[in-house]
């Protein structure tokens, strides 16, 4: 049985091995993915993003319980940062998700130098879990700052997790993470100032106005630690998914996602081919040392290399 066949049957070890192969950039991963592709497209992908310590993992744990109770197969991809100094990292999101269930799969991914709050392997990992029959896939981004918004390229529903006292209302006016939410959460809503944060967020969404022609992103109070507000959050996630499906938002996004995916694959393939050629004929080293010595500027150097490639 091929690895792809085992994944389709939901075999956990095959799923895990394939995800590792994807992370490690092993070439045979692509052959397996090609076989899986036609079986994808059934999962609802939910992205959870927000600052470090906002409660994303605890909230993910609540979503897991809620969806398992409803009978769904649930997968979680939890992303944590790699060290820029050592390349290693402690991946600790699972601490908040101490659950064992036959319908649950949790995988931690390190960023491995990838920016944007995710891992380079994220798109392909989603495909594997989708093909393996997981119906709800929750992606937890790294603790984000203002501009790690790549989750919107991969998730069909984006939930932005805020906490009380995150700053004054100016923070909600800024571009970046405060624009990408389909649903906004104020977690730790039992803390003082929760109501003010809620009203700042509501004001922000009123100024921005409805998204995609008619969806007003709701602002919900949640206490992830005890589950307060979680059923309402799940209801809103499902409601937005239905809205986005019927309003054509998802099919519009699909084209954007397809272009994005193709672009990434193409970039990598073209670059690999180009570099191989330039390294073989020695132009790469030659040009690099000229730039290093100050004999050539990098812009002319790049133009020169491009010309070499076209010959």
Contact residues: another protein, CB under 8 A? 12-13, 16-17, 19-20, 23-26, 82-83, 86-92, 94-95, 98, 100, 105-108, 110, 112, 120, 268, 271-272, 275, 279, 284, 288
If the CB atoms of residues 90 and 170 are measured against another protein, the closer one turns out to be 90
- The whole-angstrom separation of Cα 205 and Cα 211 is 9
> In whole angstroms, how close is the CB of 183 to another protein at the nearest point?
27
Secondary structure of residue 151 in the 3-state scheme: helix
User: For the stretch 40-52, what's the b/e string if a residue is b when 16 or more beta carbons lie within 10 angstroms of its beta carbon?
Assistant: eeebbbbbbbbbe
Cβ at position 211, least distance to another protein in Å: 35
Task: Give the shortest CB-249-to-another protein separation in angstroms.
Answer: 32
Contact 54, 162 (CB under 8 A): yes
Shortest distance (Å) from residue 199 CB to another protein: 36
Which is nearer to another protein, 18 or 36 (by Cβ)? 18
Angle 127-44-74 (CA atoms, 0-180°, nearest 5)?
A: 80
Nearer to another protein, 13 or 174 (CB): 13
Of the pair 12, 258, the CB lying nearest another protein is at 12
* Chain-centre distance for alpha carbon 114: 11
Sign of torsion, CA 211 158 224 130?
Answer: positive
To the nearest whole angstrom, how small is the minimum distance from the Cβ of residue 36 to another protein?
17
> What strands, in cross-sheet order, belong to the sheet with 136-140?
104-110, 74-80, 136-140, 44-50, 157-162, 183-186, 219-221
Residue with tokens 């939901």: 10
Closer Cβ to another protein, 71 or 98, answer by number: 98
Q: How distant is the alpha carbon of residue 198 from its chain centre?
A: 25
């Amino acid at each position: 049985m091929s690895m792809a066949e085992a994944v389709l049957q939901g075999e956990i070890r095959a799923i895990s091995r394939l995800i590792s192969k994807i992370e490690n950039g092993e070439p045979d991963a692509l052959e397996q993915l090609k076989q899986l592709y036609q079986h994808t497209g059934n999962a609802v992908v939910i992205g959870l993003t927000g600052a470090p310590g906002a409660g994303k993992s605890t909230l993910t744990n609540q979503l897991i319980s809620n969806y398992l109770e409803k009978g769904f197969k649930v997968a979680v991809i939890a992303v944590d940062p790699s060290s820029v100094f050592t390349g290693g990292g402690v991946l600790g999101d699972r601490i908040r998700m101490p659950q064992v269930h036959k319908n649950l799969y949790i995988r931690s991914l390190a960023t491995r130098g990838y920016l944007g709050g995710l891992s380079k392997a994220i798109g392909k990992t989603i495909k594997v879990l989708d093909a393996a029959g997981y119906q709800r896939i929750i992606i937890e981004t790294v603790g984000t700052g203002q501009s790690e918004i790549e989750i919107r390229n991969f998730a069909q529903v984006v939930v932005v997790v805020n906490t009380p006292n995150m700053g004054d209302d100016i923070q909600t006016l800024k571009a970046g993470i405060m624009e990408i939410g389909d649903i906004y959460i104020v977690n730790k809503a039992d803390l003082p100032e929760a109501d003010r944060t809620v009203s700042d967020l509501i004001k922000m969404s009123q100024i921005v106005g409805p998204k995609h022609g008619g969806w007003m992103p709701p602002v919900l109070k949640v206490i992830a630690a005890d589950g307060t507000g979680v059923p309402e959050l799940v209801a809103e996630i499902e409601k937005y998914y239905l809205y986005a499906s019927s309003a054509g938002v998802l099919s519009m996004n699909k084209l954007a996602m397809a272009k994005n995916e193709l672009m990434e694959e193409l970039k990598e393939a073209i670059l690999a081919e180009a570099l191989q050629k330039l390294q073989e004929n020695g132009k790469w080293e030659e040009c690099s040392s000229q730039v290093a010595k100050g004999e050539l500027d990098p812009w002319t150097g790049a133009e020169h290399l491009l010309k070499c490639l076209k010959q």
